[in-house]
Amino acid sequence: MQNGPQHTGTGDLRVAVIGGGIGGMAAAGALLARGLDVEVYEQAPKLAEVGAGVLITPNSLRFLERIGLGPALAEVGARISDGSTYYRADGSVVAPILTSDSQGWNGMYGMHRADLLDALVESFPAQRIHADYRCVGFTQDESGAHVEFANGERAHADVVIGADGINSTLQRYVVEPSTPVNSGSIAYRGLIPAQRLPEWKQAASQLWMGDRKHFLVYPVRRGELINYVAFVPSTRELAESWSAPGDPDELRRSFEGWDPVVTGLLEQVETTHWWGLYDREPLTEWTSGRLALLGDAAHPMLPHLGQGANQSIEDAAALGVFLDGCGPAHADIVDALAGYAQVRRPRTGEVQAGARANGRRYDSEYPDLTTRDSEIVDSVTFRRWLYDFDAEAVAAAARERLQSSGIGS
């Protein structure tokens, strides 16, 4: 099944997207929607995501709907709406969680990551997705870009998009690889069938905040599953793994004495997984000639704003604007990719910083919790700035300005 406008991908510009995760497939879909010749190369034997949740917020949903994915996401997502709430650890209400943009449009879904990726994959021609292609090298010259893979194959394109994640192979061809910044926390995550929690608040995201810990819960997969993420402090240097097995009893002990709603949910946990939380300082460069970075390869961020996937999708929207109508000449591509980076870097830098600040709020790193609670109430302004953003429109305006000044024309 394919959704949205269908193109054969026979445009003049050949694009190789390295990485078939959410960011890579969003970029591929954005470029295909503009008629570009796109191929996707994924290092795993098949395109798949871990069994975990992701929030899709209005700033990315508006673009996904434009490229025809609205019905597919509505079918597999769980709408997050009124009743979403911030709490103190004891269950005292702090503030509502914003789930709409400034116009009142509720554009938020809780989604299983695999369901989101499947929707992106199914909207893209299967013959243009190449699995088991691990990137091991990159070169470029005036005539084009060339990617080498561990299986001995090579790809040739006019543009290469590095959407290969937080441990990007392609990043070193743009800038010196960045050093991971350990947040001092780990996160346990898992899924519980909703039928085992019949009293659970439906269609809502809920977040409890305590001493150096916080606990986030929201529904996914049409509300059939409850996704939880528990953030706890750790001095261990844990891997950036999404699938390392965790200890349910250790998780339960971490939240003893919290709101009975939290401890009751944790009683239902049979298996859990953890991952170490890291981000990176903002990169000084995102592009080099015909190569551009996207998503976690360009701006890995902590999950405390729920914006990792959403910012990758924003990147995809902006990239489509700057490459639309671009010819294969080296100078044209350099200008187009530089414009993409110029419009995206300030935005993602603010979101990275905002995610760090929000983590400190959620973990109650304040001598007076009334200050923390006041900041949570006031954070609705920042959330509106996040959710009102139209990456496509902003990129189009920026491209027009750059062209009027003689850049990228």
pLDDT, residue 4, reads: 37
Q: Give a yes or no: residue 112 inside a domain.
A: yes
pLDDT score at 74: 97
Would residue 323 count as lying in a domain?
A: yes
pLDDT of residue 89: 97
Residues 364, 229 share a domain: no
pLDDT over threshold 90, residue 123: yes
Per-residue pLDDT tens for 85-94? 999 999 999 9
> Cα separation of 356 and 344, whole Å?
19
Residue 6 is assigned to a structural domain of this protein: no
Residue 7 lies in a domain: no
Are 135 and 210 within one domain?
A: no
pLDDT digits (tens, 9 = 90+) for 260-310: 999 999 999 999 998 888 888 899 999 999 999 999 999 999 999 999 999
Give the total number of structural domains in the chain: 2
Mean pLDDT score, 108-128: 97
* CATH (domain of 394): 3.50.50.60
Q: How far is the C-alpha of 253 from the C-alpha of 244, rounded, in Å? A: 19
**CA gap 151, 160 in Å, rounded:** 18
Kindly state whether residue 133 falls inside one of the protein's structural domains: yes
Q: What's the pLDDT score for residue 279?
A: 84
Q: Do residues 288 and 146 both lie within one domain?
A: yes
Are 262 and 336 part of one and the same domain?
no
Task: Give pLDDT, residue 7.
Answer: 40
Is residue 239 over pLDDT 80?
A: no
351-392 pLDDT tens trace: 999 999 999 999 999 999 999 999 999 999 999 999 999 999
Position 4 in a domain: no
Look up the domain containing 399 and give its range. 14-179+280-404
- From 252, 275, 298, the end of a domain falls on 275
Q: What is the pLDDT of residue 336?
A: 97
Single residue among 275, 305, 339 that ends a domain in this structure: 275
Q: Which of 221, 255, 275 lies at the terminal end of a domain, its last residue?
A: 275
Active site residues: 218
Q: Is residue 5 part of a domain?
A: no
Residue 339 has pLDDT above 60, yes or no: yes
Confidence of residue 52 (pLDDT cuts 50, 70, 90): confident
